[in-house]
Each structure stands twice: as C-alpha cells, then as structure tokens.
Structure 1
Amino acid sequence: MEITNEQMERYSRQIILQGVGGKGQKKLLQAKILIIGIGGLGSPAAMYLAAAGLGTIGLVDFDNVDLSNLQRQIVHSTNDIGRPKVLSAKESITAINPDVDVVTYQEIVDSGNLKNIIKDRDYDFILDCTDNFPVKFLINDACVLLQKPFSHAGILGFKGQTMTYVPGRGPCYRCVFQTPPPSDAVPSCKQAGVLGVLGGIIGTLQATEAIKYILGLGNLLTGCLLTYDALTMDFRKVKLSRNKKCAVCGEKPTITRLIDYEQPKCETRRLS
C-alpha cells in the first residue's frame, strides 16, 4: 500500500519520528487491534489508536451507554445515553479518522465466542479493557492458547495497573494471579468508585504498548507490572517471572480450553 498525500499530512508529526517513518506508518495502517471493553480504559485507547492511524479496530462490549459512564468513558457523549457502546464508539472513532475500519461485536465474551472474535480479523494485538476478573482470565487464556499478544490493565479508586503479554517473552496474567478471587472479595468501580482520569492515564498506556508492538519499538511491559497511584503520583514497576507451573502457559499446562468463571451478579452484563 502507498501512503496518500492526505495521510502524509495527517500523520506527519508521527512519521518524522525516528523509528517510525513512512514504513512504520504503513505498518500501523495495516495493523488490526481488538479492544475488549469500551469503557474507562477502552475509550481513550480507541481514540488514540484511531488518531494514530491503526487500520482496523475491533470493539467488543455488550452494554449500552449509561449516565454514570460519562465521568470517565470519553468516547461516549450525553446524546449517546441508552445507545450500544460499540455503536457510539464507532461513530466517535470515525469522526476522528474516517479511514479506520471499525468492526463491532455487541456481545458478552465467553468461552464459546472469544476465540472466534479474535480469529475473525486475525487481530495482531488485543487490549483487555474490562473491569472484572473472570473476563480478564478468559482473555488471558484465549490469548495464550492462540499465541496472541495483549495488554492487561485495571483501575479502581485512585490506582491503576498494566502489563503486557507477548508469547515466549514473559509471564502471562495467570502466571501472576493464578485464579480469579471470590466474586465478593474485590469491590467493583460501582461499589468502590474510580477517579475518572485514571482511565485516560492507563488506557493511553495500553494504546502506547499496542503501537510499540506493531512498530517493534522500545521496551514493552513484558516481565513487569506497572502500577500508578494518582494520590502520590508514583509509577512503579514490579518485576515478574514466568511461572513454569502456570496452568495455561507453563511447561505442563492443564488448561487447554477456555473456562467460564462465575461473574459478580452486579457485573454480569458489564464489560467496561
């Protein structure tokens, strides 16, 4: 593919970066990114990936836009209340960059459809922008089994965290956390609250990881968990090691198919 004059102007500030150039921009224009959860994390990630010129962006979310979402889910507006999040986000992305091919999946992800969604466009990189543990483990296991890189992230209260999994280059999410906690052990954002801007900070870091992976630039968050505390403004990196006994990516894996864990009752329909 050739970059058009209009694209040269649109992405000029990016193309002049060392390590990107026209060749790198072509990689972005041909890349396919899947975002699961179009909420606090998925909103900024989707908008910045669209602005950067990612060729195809898949959006997965079952929910409709709610008034309480608008404090942090900036891809949606007041006029979108009651509409499917994937459609609201698609319109916003298209308004930012009409060249992006936006694919929508208004579905609750489970063991029966997640692999097929990932395979649908053979996505290059997946963003886990969900807010409940059962789905996070499902995404991790699907990516490990399909050998797909992905970015994990989570936000709650004033804190956030993110890590990146790349097959063969470090631990997966299950290496670190092993199994989902009991459904009542960790409060949801609805119960504990969340500072809205956290989604922007952590979500854009996820978008950054996706862009770096496609371009082959810099150091990814493989082998470490990046944490952020908004009250102290501290970023910390915690080194992680691959668990050789990990049930899904270990030397003798016991998980060879996806598992549906019970989701908290207040979140059974929420992905973002």
Structure 2
Amino acid sequence: MLSRKQLQRYSRQIMLPQIGEAGQEKLSNARVLMVGLGGLGSPAALYLAAAGVGELHLVDGDKVEISNLQRQVLYKTNHREKDKAQVAAQQLTAANPEIRLHAHCRMADEGWLTDLFSQQSFDLVLDCTDNLDIRHSINRVCRAHKIPVVMASVRGFSGQLVSFDFRTQASPCYACLFPPAVEASDLPEAENCSTVGVIGPALGMMGSAQALEAIKFLVGLPVSSLNRLQLFEAASLEWRALSLAENSTCPVCG
C-alpha cells in the first residue's frame, strides 16, 4: 500500500486512469537496470526516479568531462573528473530520496551482465549506450535471461528507439534488425558522439522516450516501440516507424 507521502508525491500520475494506485505500486516495486548514463541515460534516469521506480541500478565506467555537459543533464561543472554512476546516484537520490539507487562504476560486458542477472532479478533493462559491442551483449544476455529491454541511440540529429520483450517466445531481437557483422561494417564503433557529433535535445527526446516506454512496460500498458523501430529526425521533427519480425537467419535467436 502506498504511503501518504507517496500518494502526494506521485498524485499527478496516480490520477491518470492508465496508472492509478495499482500502477504506482508496480513502479514502486520495480527493479530497473540502466546501462549508460550519458545523453540518453541522464533524462531517462531523471524521469524514472521522479516517477517513483523503486530501485535503479546505474552502470557507467566513465568520469564526467567538460564536453559531456552540453547534453548530459545530470551533471554540473563541479562534477568534472568524478564517476558518472556515483554522481548520478547522488543526483537522483536528491531528486527522490524514497527510491533505492545502486551505482556500478564500471563498463558493462557480457560476463558481468550474466553474473549480475544470475544473482539478481530485474524487471527491465534500458540500453542507453553508444557502444555497439555492449549493445549486442545486452541483447544477448537479456534474451538469455528473458528480461525486456528498451534501446535507443542518436547520431547527429537522428534518433532510433526499439523495445523487445524477451519474456515471449516469439520476440525478435536487436540482432534480427542489425546483425553484428553487418552493423560493424556499416557503422564502425568509432562513430559515436565523440567523433560525429550530436545535438543535445535529440538525446533528451530519445532518453525521455525510453523512460516513457519503460513506465508503460512496468505498469502493463501497450509499448509503442515493442518490435517496432521508431525513427526520429530532430531537424524536421518527424517520426516514422518500421515493424520488425523474427529473422530466421539471426545469429542470436534464429
């Protein structure tokens, strides 16, 4: 049962018929893993913390740099050279001291994710990285452990958003859409925010969309990006969507 303080803090979303007290209790009981606390992870984490997601695990091995501040809205100038995950946990605790925050000051890799998922259960994973190898690792491990995942990326003015619910047998996966070998040749790992540039508000849009889809996942609402690649062009403010299906030749789930 929600406390009086929780009813007050979350009153504006509790009054929504799609959420209500039952939905808020689901959020309060949820455990979410966020991989990457940069331009996508910053707005996503802020909104999930504000919404009252009960437990957030924050994973990032980087330290705050001055060049991050153009787009990574969790951090301030005085946070330079500090661990992103630790600073993020402190910032989110200040925003909502009622939730539980766990900082993992390291980069995620397949072995570490496998060990973590073997030890703890998670309701959802958010992939907020700009590293293709880590994204494919998240895809493989989440599928193996049947954990839903919401993924996003931004390059320049262009954003992508897609979700997979690996609790169902018929779900496609990220490798169905972008097989590792094909993606590596089309989009080298070196092409990320540090090499090709990015507009900050586009990251804010996509990170906020990740948070929105995460909340919908957790309370049981239809998820618009589920098995659908949502494409956003910030230059023209246009969205379009492509439906996805399982790929029989997929190296992960085919």
The residue identity in structure 1 corresponding to 2:74 is V
The residue identity in structure 1 corresponding to 2:184 is P
* Kept in 1: contact 2:160–2:229 (CA 8 A): yes
What is the match of residue 181 of structure 1? 184
Higher relative contact order (CA 8 A, sep 6+): 1
* Kept in 2: contact 1:223–1:239 (CA 8 A): yes
Displacement of 1:70: 0.5
- How many angstroms apart in 2 are the aligned matches of 1:185 and 1:62? 17
> Gapped runs of 5+ residues in structure 1?
251-272
Q: What is the correspondence of 1:56-71 to structure 2 with a 5 Å cutoff? A: 56-71=55-70
Query: TM (normalized to structure 1)?
Result: 0.88
SS state at 1:236 partner: strand
* Kept in 1: contact 2:58–2:101 (CA 8 A): yes
The residue identity in structure 2 corresponding to 1:147 is K
Distance 1:119 1:46, change over 3 A: farther
Displacement of 1:109: 1.5
> Could you tell me the percent identity over the aligned residues?
39
What is the match of residue 76 of structure 1? 75
The residue identity in structure 2 corresponding to 1:176 is L
Distance 1:3 1:185, change over 3 A: closer
SS state at 1:227 partner: strand
- How many angstroms apart in 1 are the aligned matches of 2:36 and 2:147? 18
What do the CA deviations read for 1:22-44 (whole angstroms, capped 9, x no partner)?
11111100001110000000000
- How many angstroms apart in 2 are the aligned matches of 1:120 and 1:67? 36
The residue identity in structure 1 corresponding to 2:99 is V
* Kept in 1: contact 2:233–2:239 (CA 8 A): yes
What is the match of residue 235 of structure 2? 231
Q: What is the correspondence of 1:80-229 to structure 2 with a 5 Å cutoff? A: 80-167=79-166, 168=168, 169-179=170-180, 180-182=183-185, 184=188, 187-229=191-233
RMSD: 1.4
* Kept in 2: contact 1:166–1:222 (CA 8 A): yes
Distance 1:194 1:248, change over 3 A: same
SS state at 2:111 partner: coil
* Kept in 2: contact 1:34–1:118 (CA 8 A): no
- How many angstroms apart in 2 are the aligned matches of 1:175 and 1:237? 16
* Kept in 2: contact 1:213–1:220 (CA 8 A): no
Larger mean Cα displacement after TM superposition, 56-65 or 100-109: 100-109
SS state at 1:200 partner: helix
Q: Does 1:52 align with 2:84?
A: no
The residue identity in structure 2 corresponding to 1:181 is A
What is the match of residue 247 of structure 2? 243
SS state at 1:174 partner: helix
- How many angstroms apart in 2 are the aligned matches of 1:69 and 1:186? 17
Query: TM (normalized to structure 2)?
Result: 0.94
Whichever structure has more helix as a proportion of its residues is: 2
> Gapped runs of 5+ residues in structure 2?
none
SS state at 1:162 partner: strand
* Kept in 2: contact 1:212–1:220 (CA 8 A): no
Runs of 4+ in 1 over 6 A off after TM superposition: none
- How many angstroms apart in 2 are the aligned matches of 1:87 and 1:164? 27
* Kept in 2: contact 1:171–1:240 (CA 8 A): yes
- How many angstroms apart in 2 are the aligned matches of 1:219 and 1:209? 6
